[in-house]
Structure 1
Amino acid sequence: MQYTHLGRTGLSVSRLCLGTMNFSWTTEKPDAFAVMDSAHDKGINFFDTANRYGRPHSGVTESWLGEWFAQGGGRREKTVLATKLYGAMGDWPNEGKLSALNIRRALDASLKRLKTDYVDLYQFHHIDRDTPWDEIWQAMEVAVQQGKILYAGSSNFAGWHIAKAQGVAKARGFMGLVSEQSLYNLIARTVELEVLPAAQDFGLGVIPWSPLQGGLLGGVLKKEQEGKRRLEGRAKETLDRLRPQIEKYEALCDQLGHAPGDVALAWLLHQPAVTAPIIGPRTADQLDSAERAVELKLDAETLKKLDEIFPGHKPAPEDYAW
């Protein structure tokens, strides 16, 4: 496994981040534990979760991680743990978003479920347009002083959200955001307009979610032909719309001799500011292909061909102006 620093910090994280959103949905607890053990075996030290993940109710996924940590063996010590808050955890007022009150309560609840006394990376799952940044940062400063969090990150922010957050943090003498978790893959490249440039300028590591765009970049046409996958509804509509591009993409991957999912992950690892794509394996075996992607080097000609199939964006304003 390869490692890099998370943004401008000195924190070393693996080039792949283990996502846990599937836990309790498509992955049962014994398999989830096996996935996490296998991730450590492969050198993946960066795990991502959220207080809202899990069924039949929010908090289940964090609780599973807590049970896994409680087994000992250095599991917690070896893990750079990232979780998130924003979505409501109940029906009563102040059980969601980023008020100082909810940050305090949500963090304490997450720590209890995770069976740990601190979180390495505490992330805002969404922008809160109703809470001023001075209030948000004051609450986070207290959490840092208490030793409950080490770093703050964002998710699904626009470029100007990052800029505003960092401006207020700087005025307070606070480190501010060190990472941004965004939808980013060969198909979904909107963040190249302003989010990636903002992240680079302010020293944030980018953590792409949905790196295979819901499986569309994971060899979906071949799986469809083999009867291993059948898409319906919105997913089928998206595939039908993108079919010509995906046909070209899978043909290119065949020429390269690499699985489409490996190429999609490797492409992300070649992009500026990207720290670690989030992978969400349902079983331990599915980690193998992700591990191969870290070692896969794409030459300039291949990167050019991928851009021709899935055109991206230049930074704004050059993308739409001179």
Structure 2
Amino acid sequence: MKLFDKKTAIYGAYWILVTGFFLYEKKYLLYKANLPYFFACVGVRVGLLIIIAYLNLHIFLPKYLAKKRYGAYVSAILFSVLTYLVIQSLYDYYLYGYIVGPLYNSNMWESVSYNFFSTLWYLALMLALKLSLDWYGQQLLIQRITVEKLHAEVDFLRAQVNPHFLFNILNNLYALTLKKSELAPDVVLKLSSMMEYMLYDSNDEKVPLTKELEYLNNYVELERLRFGASAVITFNTGQVGPGQKIAPLLLLPLVENAFKHGLSKQTADSALHISISLHGDTLMAQVENTKPALVSSQYKGGIGLNNLRKRLELLYQGRHDLQLQDQVTTYKATLRIEL
């Protein structure tokens, strides 16, 4: 149901309750007058209140209060209330003074006092209801905008990851083809499998963790082919159930950063150790790599890690922890995510 329909239903329920209250309050007229006067009394009172409420919500509020013309708003409200008092009090005086007659002691000032304060009370309730519904509608709008903004930012960040990754892999493939390496077809096959994942599966908000790890393993194997025996690379994963899901391409920046700014900068004795395990609903990922002593991993223009931080904040706010340790000859990244 749309918000407009909900508002209509709530306002309708409010006036049904108000009408029911007056029907109960004026039930003694059934004995002192007759049925038509009983319904006329309630109908006139509720009808006048509805008119005042309509003027307040649709004319006075947007025309005066919303524009901070408080004096004009108060004057308009008082004028409408006084008009109501004149009509309602004259009708009450006629009803109780002439129709009901001696069975009811009619008092004009008592009627005016009762109608004045009861009118202000019902107007206050209606205003509170109106402001509550507006606040609720605003919260729904803010929530929808926030969700749309989150999806837009995640899509933008994902779009940044893909070209960055492809640029590195194509460079690797280019180097192998220059050497006429027999490993090139295997690289193409693995890259094809990864492209299928990136083009189709990665568009989902969440993907099976098993697919994400398979994608990551293919990436590591491609890099292992490039480095050969010049680097010690290990990739260990624990048991992962088929029901666990994760945001796509979330772990790649940690591994990609280790290759690009660690192993690629070394000529010998380079190493990379990747460990990913699942403890209940908590994912632990640890990536540790060697690096030259004079090279800092806090490089300029680090798209991958910057994107990772933003995506974690957007998708796992309050449910993640990323620790980066930049030592003299090693760089270690530890990521914990509550899936």
> Which has the bigger relative contact order, CA under 8 A and spacing at least 6?
1
Whether TM-score is above 0.5 comes out as no
**TMscore range, shorter length:** under 0.3
What is the TM-score of this pair, normalised by structure 2? 0.19
Larger Rg: 2
